[in-house]
Amino acid sequence: MENKQIKNAHISEKSTRPDLQSIAEILTILTKGIKTSLLYPAQNPIPREFKKSCWEKLQAYLETYEQLELDIYSDSFRDRQQIIYKAPSKEENIAGLLHRDGIRFVRFHSGLQKTEWEGFFDDILTVLRDDDKYEDLVNLFWQRDFVNIEYEAVDEFALSEIESNYQASSNTAVEYSEVLNIESQDNTVSVLEALNPENQSDKQAPVTEENKFIDKVFQNIQKFSQEERDNIEAKVAADEDLIIEFEAINLLFDILKVEEEIRSFDDSLHMLNIMYDKMLAGEQFPLLVHLIKSLKEVHRKFTGQSTTRADKIKDCINRYGDKIRIGKITNMLNKNEDIDLDGIRMYLEELDWENLPMLIWMLGELEYFPARKMLIQAIVNKGRERIDIIGNAIFDSRWYVVRNAALILGEIGNRRALSHLKKPLEHFDERVRWEAVVAIEKIALESGYEMLMPLLNDESDRVRRKVIQVVGNNQIAAALDNLESLIFSKDFNNLGGDEQKEYISALALCGGDQAISLLRKLALKKSLFFADKYEVQNEAAVTALSLIDSQEVRDVLEMIVRKRKGSVSMLAKLLLEKKDKVVNQKAEEQV
Amino acid sequence: MTQSIPITKSDRYTSAEMKAMANLQALGRDLVTQFYICLKTAAFYDNNNTNYQKQLQKFSDLVDIALEKQAEFRLTSVEGYLFLNEQRLKINLDGYLSAKSLQKTFDRFKITGLIFKNGVDQLSLSFLITELVRNTNITIGAEELNKLFNSKNVSDIEFIPSLTISSEEDITPKDERKKAKRVFFNAINVVQDILTTPADNRQLNLIRAKRAIHSLVDQLLKNERYLLELTALQKFDDYTYKHSVNVSIFSVALGLRLGFSKAQLSELGFAALFHDFGKTKIPLDLLNKPDGLNSSDWSQMQEHPVYGAKVIAQNFLMERYTARAILVAFEHHKNLDGTGYPYINRTCSLNLYSQIVSICDYFDALTSGRTYRKKSVPVDEVILQMMKLSNVKFDAHLLKVMINLVGIYPSGSLLLLDTGELALVTANNANDIFRPEVKIIADTRGKKNPPIRTHLSAFDSRQNRYFRNVLHLVDPTKYDIDISEYILSD
């Protein structure tokens, strides 16, 4: 490595003595920032705080000292020989990482931009996460093109064998006088001299057979007209709009489409499979989506033309949703919360329906809620026409799989899903039953609501209340009898006040006019010895009456005002006043 | 008498021009161009000359516009790029010459750039230009220049000393040539390694390939002449590796003139380096066949673009670099209208990078001969042939950029001069592509003296003519002249 020294006239006297303690602090926070970034998702505040703190301290340091220099050793950051910061462990050895990739010196200048700093930080993370060693820091830093970060890499350009073996002749045997003698007798002039402005001004450059076909673009060979410059700029701009990876994939498929020999076709498919595996390992889901779409397009082309080729492509497509591939994606989702969920969803949706069972399997394997949510969305989009496959999931032994299957069936909202929801309604786990109720509500069919009736007696109050809510919101008349018998049973008095209110409201909503007499009964229900024993039910009944739009309700309310005292009577009175107000308002509006 | 509309310097520009200039990029480019024009004009005329004064006035106006909203601004050169304050200036075809010339001027005085402060007037600017043009003191640097300017009461222009890491001695052309040589041969080494490495290990070599390309790009950004010169080296056992590197160098240099960013240049260089990757599937004896190819050979050879695309796709992770390399490997023998080989029709047009590599590939292939034993085609014939193929095989505008890059007589060309001397072209002259820089390798008597470096643009003002003119190209292989001797020597 060349021994280099920095020439810098601008550094003030105080900045020549670096504050090693401050630098050590910065490096400590940098290490923690890197470590926590690897452990936690990007949105987690812990790594973000470290990163922010590191930036602030670095910025403050540079404002005072104008630059921060680090000599990189395999185990430490140093100022010449003096250790500033030694890595506490192998996993936290950032200096070692830089050293491994050949970096021996780094300098940050004042004027350092936050984007540069973040780029530096992110590149270190990229390399640490890169299990397959696709990148190295020197290349990543080079691509960043830092203005305020200098680094020095080991000069790996040692004298190569090619260079050392390259021997130029000394030309001692060449008789130059002879050369000059021969050449001076040759009077040919290069045809390109016709384009020389010196010759053109003399008009001595004739148009010859050779040069008459030259485009006018070259007539003024050294100058570019505005039109020419615009043309070139337009070409460059147009290229910048391309997604070049897509273009490359398109090309490979154009090659595949025209492979004449089946062996070449197989080779091309094999190449695509290898490419696929690399893209999958690299988590390049947008590219994978494009790949599958292109495969499907080719499949359509060959269907009807060549069964063999069509089948081979179909196998490929199925392969991309098989257990191995889905397993890998599942591991990725469980390992990295920051992964591209949208990209994965689009990929999963692009798979054929034959891969749906694998997606269902995946349901039970994902650890994080966002990933499960994404998968559910994908299955919903994918499974609209394949409800039976989704329905198979209700036989899974894992409650959460059955629960999610119910959720999906509800989201799909297809009547054919109803039959698959019967079993979940009877599931031992209340969370499954609850989800099944929600699903039935989404499907919104009378026959579905009927399935809910037994759950009015469900042992779980959460489930019961959900059912009540569903029947009430949808005013299911068929529920009236069930509700009546429940409300007027002894056990009803053991329920919580809120739940009792929900039941009674549901009664009103489901029964309409038919419920008025029942509600009146409830409103007047009294205890001989405990005045407030039925107060909740009384008030709930009165409130529920207001949900029914009928003249009879008015009569009942007036009667309650007369016959009852206290809060019940006052409530009835209030409701009457409210009704009058509404009536008067309507009358005024009509006027 | 007061005027209702104040006459300002900005009145010299229309309001439409003012709006454009408000954009920092446009302003930066105009500043650089005008600065260069002033320097060039000052080289020929004295300070009282009308033309010089006109150009100076324009420059002064631009400086004023730049200082309208700030107390000072900086024009700096860092690692081959020009900056206006923090804004990197995208220099394209338009301003390439002026930018490079200005950077050379900065390098000569060992400065990173200049600070222009509020209050700077035309007189100060004139003093600056005159000093930059006429000060022949090669040891002077920023500190001395600042002292000089302060002593002349020109305190609103400041010189920024060079901040680049440098070796203990100053970097000389000899060092630069040595570095360029190292970069060049390393690139060949890397290509050879990759093409001969089993597939499993190719991913690791990709990292080395990128590093090699980055070094090429850096070298070309700093000073392209040495690498371009090295493209003329001939004596390689395996043509393919050196050809790949040559095409990469030409392509990146061309991309520079198109205003490509560093990332784009590296992508282009990488794609160019692997454009013939498919040849790893072609038998060696066919590749090196000296006697010409029969139709069966030719059919096989025409498969290499397809092989190239597939091999790259199979061996490397799909990312921008490799995607681009796939396209270029496939398309570099296609014509603009989609004809050409391989015979696979596509609906989309040729990728820009493929068009660039196609030009560079054709040029290098014909000028160096496909195998060492084969005779190369005279460069002027190659250029003429390419011009005739423009708009069919090559984009005419891109080809024109290429011709201006290499010159009519590219580096490594052997010339007979009208003085009876034999000269080797060492660098293109961007100001006049018919008059390159040369080394005189044999005098009128045919004596081989230590080579003298000179410019064919050197003008004898007393006789009102150029000192030397080109008669014609000489084929060195006809006389077994190994031009490498002159290229590799200082």
**pLDDT tens readout for residues B125-167:** 999 999 998 887 767 788 889 999 999 999 999 999 876 544 4
The pLDDT of residue A319: 93
Chain A contact for B235 (CB, 8 A cutoff): yes
b (16+ CB within 10 A) / e for A300-317:
ebbeeeeeebbebbbebb
Distance from CA of B126 to the nearest CA of A (A): 27
Alpha-carbon distance B3 to nearest alpha carbon in chain A (angstroms) = 38
Q: What is the pLDDT of residue B14?
A: 63
B94, B346, B482 ranked by CB distance to A229: nearest: B94
Please give the biggest Cα pair distance in chain A: 139
Residue type, A62: L
Which residue from A135, A222, A268 is facing B310, i.e. has the nearest CB? A268
CA distance A316 to chain B (A): 16
What tens digit of pLDDT does each residue of A547-559 get? 998 888 888 988 8
Contact A232 B233 (CB under 8 A): no
Contact predicate B454/B379, CB 8 Å: no
Nearest Cα of chain B lies from the Cα of A384 at a distance, in angstroms, of 33
Percent of chain A with pLDDT over 70: 93
> How do residues A65-120 score in pLDDT, each as one tens digit?
989 999 999 999 999 888 999 988 888 899 999 999 999 999 999 889 999 999 99
In a mutational test of the A interface, the residue from B230, B252, B317, B490 whose CB has the highest number of chain A CBs within 10 Å is B317
Question: Which residues of A fall within a CB distance of 8 Å from B383?
Answer: 192
The alpha-carbon gap from A131 to the nearest alpha carbon of chain B, in Å, equals: 12
- Closest Cα to residue B221, out of A159, A113, A142, A163? A142
Q: What is the ipTM of this complex?
A: 0.81
Q: CA A379 to CA A394: how far, in whole Å? A: 15
| Closest CB to A235 among B163, B352, B432 | B352
Cβ neighbours of residue A134 under 8 Å, at least 6 residues apart?
Answer: A282, B203, B206, B207, B317, B319
Best mutation target, A8, A105, A112, A142, to test chain B (most B CBs within 10 A): A142
B344–A190 C-beta distance less than 8 A: no
State both tokens at A9. Answer: 């006239």
Q: Best interface-test mutation with B: which of A192, A198, A260 has the largest number of B CBs within 10 A? A: A192
Tens of pLDDT, residue by residue over A1-26, are: 322 323 233 333 334 577 899 999 99
- The whole-number average pLDDT for the span B343-367 is 92
Q: How confident is the model at residue A344 (pLDDT cuts 50, 70, 90)?
A: very high
In this prediction, residue A213 carries a pLDDT of 57
User: B434 to chain A: nearest residue by CA?
Assistant: A196
State the pLDDT at residue B370.
54
Comparing CA positions, the residue from B36, B42, B88, B44 lying closest to residue B62 is B36
Q: Does B196 touch chain A (CB under 8 A)?
A: no
| Closest Cα in chain B, distance from residue A350 (Å) | 20
> Residue A490: which pLDDT band, with cuts at 50, 70 and 90?
confident
Backbone angles phi, psi at A106, to 5 degrees: -135, 140
| B423 in Cβ contact with B245 (< 8 Å) | no
Contact call for B319 and A245, based on CB within 8 A: yes
Pairing of strands A149-153, A103-109: antiparallel
Q: What is the pLDDT of residue A9?
A: 30
Rounded to an integer, the average pLDDT of B171-189 is 87
Chain B's closest residue to A282, CA to CA, is B317
Q: Flag if A233 and B306 touch (Cβ within 8 Å).
A: no
Q: Does B284 touch chain A (CB under 8 A)?
A: no
Query: 3-state SS string over A563-574?
Result: HCCHHHHHHHHH
Q: Which residues of A touch B445 (CB under 8 A)?
A: 177
Least Cα separation, residue B1 to chain A (angstroms): 44
Q: What is the DSSP string of A157-220?
A: -PPPHHHHH------TT--HHHHHHHHHT-----GGGGG-HHHHHTT-----TTTTTS-GGGTT
**Per the structure block, which two tokens stand in for B342?**
């391989």
Residue type, A110: S
A234 neighbourhood in chain B, CB within 8 Å: none
CB within 8 Å: B203 and A132? yes
**Residue A320, number of CB atoms within 10 A of its CB:** 22
The answer to whether the Cβ–Cβ distance between A166 and B185 falls below 8 Å is: yes
Beta partners for B117?
A: B72
End-to-end CA distance of chain A: 98
Q: What is the largest CA-CA distance in chain B?
A: 90
CB atoms A179 and B474 under 8 Å: yes
Is the CB of B170 inside 8 Å of chain A's CB atoms?
A: no
Among B105-109, B223-227, B290-294, which is the least confidently predicted range?
Answer: B290-294
Confidence of residue A495 (pLDDT cuts 50, 70, 90): confident
Whether A291 and A279 have beta carbons less than 8 Å apart is answered as yes
- Domains defined along chain B, listed by start: 14-161 (no CATH), 169-406 (1.10.3210.10), 414-487 (no CATH)
pLDDT tens track for B220-251: 988 899 999 999 998 777 788 999 999 999 99
Tally the residues of chain A: 591
CA B131 to chain centre: 27
Residues A279, A252: Cα–Cα separation, whole Å:
15
Q: What does the pLDDT read at residue A157? A: 65
Q: Peptide bond preceding B451: is omega within 30 degrees of 0, i.e. cis?
A: no
Q: Which amino acid is at A461?
A: D
Residues 6+ apart with CB under 8 A from B220: B80, B227, B249, B252, B253, B256, B265
**Which one is predicted more confidently, B169 or B82?**
B82
- According to the model, what pLDDT value does residue B371 have? 46
User: For residue B166, what pLDDT is reported?
Assistant: 43
